[in-house]
Amino acid sequence: MGDLFLVRHGETEWSRSGRHTGSSDVPLTERGREEARRLVPLIRSQRIGAAFVSPLRRARDTAELIGLHDVRVDPDLREWDYGAYEGVTTADIQRERPGWFLFTDGVAPGPPERPGETPEQVGARADRMLAKVDAALADTEGDVVLVAHGHILRVLTARRLGLPPSGGALFQLVTGTLCRLGTEHGRPVIAGWNIRPTR
């Protein structure tokens, strides 16, 4: 069975400034596009059997820039719905809610089109996505790649390792990087994290 590769999309203006970017379709910066292009040799060196991408533009553009083809768009890979905290930084939230922490406290409700998600709801999406990953891994000789966003990929990693959704807090994930989740003695492990080319 192959490994699971995670790619966080390249930099956006909002990721650079620390604004929570859920459903807002903020494009990659030129630096973000270059971060993605630099991953091409790492992706080309793998046997990719299946690839999935978030429906949001920054992830889809990253998938294209790193050279993935026949990518399946999957809504379960969209970023955390931040509700009322969309576009707001952690520092600004903590001025009103001292000690607030996304992975344990969730978000304040937003408008009907952006109601917000609890950590458990994001964890349920991650579990659904992991079931699709396992089906793809069983159906192919190669690896599976997911191209998505920082917080959903961190929660997905926690769930892959048997941790609760809040365990995603343990895995800092930088824009434009590749991570590898594999197995050792039949158990899931992190085989590489925040990988970037050395050049």
79 is catalytic: yes
| φ and ψ at residue 62, rounded to 5 degrees | -65, -45
* pLDDT at residue 135 tops 90: yes
| Structure tokens given for 8 | 């966080």
Q: In a 10 Å sphere around its CB, with 0-12 CB exposed, 13-18 middle and 19+ buried, how is residue 101 labelled?
A: middle
Q: What is the pLDDT of residue 1?
A: 80
Q: Read off the pLDDT of residues 170-185 as tens digits, 9 standing for 90 and up.
A: 999 999 999 999 999 9
Mind giving me the DSSP string for 30-79?
A: HHHHHHHHTTHHHHHTS-EEEEEE-SSHHHHHHHHHTT--SPEE-GGGSP
Mind giving me the DSSP string for 79-147?
A: PP--GGGTT-BHHHHHHHSTT--HHHH------TT-----HHHHHHHHHHHHHHHHHHHHH-SSEEEEE
* pLDDT at residue 194 tops 80: yes
Tell me the pLDDT of the chain averaged across its residues.
Answer: 97
Q: Which of 11, 35, 79, 117 is catalytic?
A: 79
Q: Which of 9, 20, 149, 151 is catalytic?
A: 9
Q: What is the largest CA-CA distance in the chain?
A: 50
Contacts of residue 64, defined as CB under 8 A and 6 or more positions apart, other chains included, come to none
* pLDDT at residue 192 tops 90: yes
Contacts of residue 124, defined as CB under 8 A and 6 or more positions apart, other chains included, come to none
Mean pLDDT over residues 134-146, rounded?
96
* pLDDT at residue 104 tops 90: yes
Q: What structural domains and CATH numbers belong to the chain? A: 4-195 (3.40.50.1240)
| Structure tokens given for 20 | 């929570």
How far is Cα 36 from Cα 65, in angstroms, rounded to an integer?
6
Q: How sure is the predictor about 199, in pLDDT bands with cuts at 50, 70 and 90?
A: low
Q: Whole-model pTM?
A: 0.97
How far is Cα 72 from Cα 52, in angstroms, rounded to an integer?
5
Q: How sure is the predictor about 197, in pLDDT bands with cuts at 50, 70 and 90?
A: confident
- Rounded percentage of the chain residues whose pLDDT exceeds 90: 97
